[in-house]
Amino acid sequence: MPSEKEDFTIGVEEEYQIINPTTRELCSRVQQILPIAQKALGEQVQSEMQLSQIEIGTPVCRSLSEVRTELVRLRGELIAAAAVDGNQIAAAGTHPFSSWSQQQITPKERYEKLIEDYQQLSREQLIFGCHVHVGIGDPEMAISVMNRVRVWLAPLLALSASSPFWIGKDTGYASYRTEIWGRWPISGPPLIFSSQAEYKALVEALVATGSIEDGTKIYWDVRISERYPTVEFRVTDVCMTVNEAVMIAGLVRALARTCHDQAKADTPFPATRHELIRAAHWRAARYGLDAELIDVEQQTACSAGELLEKFLAFLRPALEDFGDWDEISSLVNETVQRGNGATRQREVYERTGRLEDVVDFIVAETAKT
């Protein structure tokens, strides 16, 4: 992750499932796999809340080609480490049929404290996300960027949605992970802040009232990182393929850059009602790319394709400046044409009627380079 004050660097964190290749269930083997993986990857691979989860984080990247190289390397080494233990790695926002009730919590003080504080919410936290950090060195500018990106988070969610199944049932949602995550008290899209001082004051008030332990327990869809000089985007499901993960990283960086430049020029932006942004997020989680989404700026409904065309047009100057336009626009159009992860998982299930086949599909997509 970015550790120095350098604007528009990228860092990506991905949470993965550990899969038993025979039953296709989640298996609690992180303590066996982690030491093997760390021989190759060091601290870039870590445990997560459940023993059936494992997380990677890229180093600081300055281009999308670096992001791609690192994700291919990290996924490949982790898949190899899991294979040594006789298991597999899968990237999707939820497991199609394994239940939270069968999982074991990682025995670390951080996770045990979450269980103590949040009880059932923590126990059911069997979800897998992707977090993208974008370097913004000026703290006041980071707040301005966070204020402005809020209206564009729903299209990112719709593109990344990969969690249609939950404990053996089709939930009817493209991103059911979003609904599980949204039950937490400090989650969802943030409100607008007038300054870094106002942001810090809120964090301090939440800590003082015992609502959170520290600033790292703020789980908004976009937040100011407590550890790095970055704006952290947390809205998306983990993507099945490297291509999709690169697409999200490229869109996120271009969005941060566009909003940074507009803030620097003091360009007016819509102070959109929080309720409308929440409605847009719900629509993206419910339907993904398969129905109308909400154009928050225009306060109208429109097709997913139309909204994504508008999103790409908004980002085009930044994407072109980074040299990313051709790649990112192609990846977005490809995702619209063939469907996001949720759509593709459903197609497998409709074809075979077996959720085990969906797991096999996710495992295969995860390994693609």
Contact 348, 293 (CB under 8 A): no
SS3 85: coil
**DSSP code string of 90-147:** E--SS-SS--GGG--B---HHHHHHHHHHTHHHHT----EEEEEEE---HHHHHHHHH
Max intra-chain CA distance, the chain: 57
| Dihedral sign computed on CA atoms, order 72, 77, 82, 87 | positive
Alpha carbons 240 and 12: distance in angstroms, whole number = 14
| pTM as predicted | 0.96
**Which residues make beta-bridge pairs with 54?**
16, 47
Angle at the Cα of 266 from the Cα atoms of 264 and 270, rounded to 5 degrees: 120
One-letter amino acid of 265: A
Say if residues 329 and 312 touch (Cβ distance below 8 Å). Answer: yes
Q: Single out the residue of 257, 321, 296, 12 nearest to residue 155, CA to CA.
A: 296
95 CB-near residues (< 8 Å, 6+ apart): 17, 25, 26, 126, 165, 359
Q: What is the pLDDT of residue 217?
A: 85
Per DSSP, helices labelled H in the chain are 30-41, 64-84, 109-118, 120-123, 139-149, 153-160, 176-181, 196-208, 242-264, 274-287, 304-322, 325-338, 341-352, 355-367
The HSE-up count of residue 126 (CA atoms within 13 Å, CB side) is 26
Q: How far apart (Å, rounded) are the C-alpha atoms in residues 359 and 110?
A: 30
Query: Please, what is the Cα angle at 320 between 316 and 324, to 5 degrees?
Result: 100
- From residue 26, how far is each of 23, 128, 224 by CA, in Å? 9, 12, 32
Contact assessment for residue 67 and residue 61, using Cβ atoms and an 8 Å cutoff: yes
What confidence score (pLDDT) does residue 5 get? 56
Q: What is the pLDDT of residue 361?
A: 98
Which domains, ranges and CATH numbers included, belong to the chain? 10-367 (3.30.590.20)
Along the 369 residues of the chain, how does pLDDT read in single tens digits?
Answer: 444 457 999 999 999 999 999 999 999 999 999 999 999 999 999 999 999 999 999 999 999 999 999 999 999 999 999 999 999 999 999 999 999 999 998 888 888 888 888 898 888 999 999 999 999 999 999 999 999 999 999 999 999 999 999 999 999 999 999 999 998 888 899 999 999 999 999 999 999 998 888 888 889 999 999 889 999 999 999 999 999 999 999 999 999 999 999 999 999 988 899 999 999 999 999 999 999 999 999 999 999 999 999 999 999 999 999 999 999 999 999 999 999 999 999 999 999 999 999 999 999 999 998
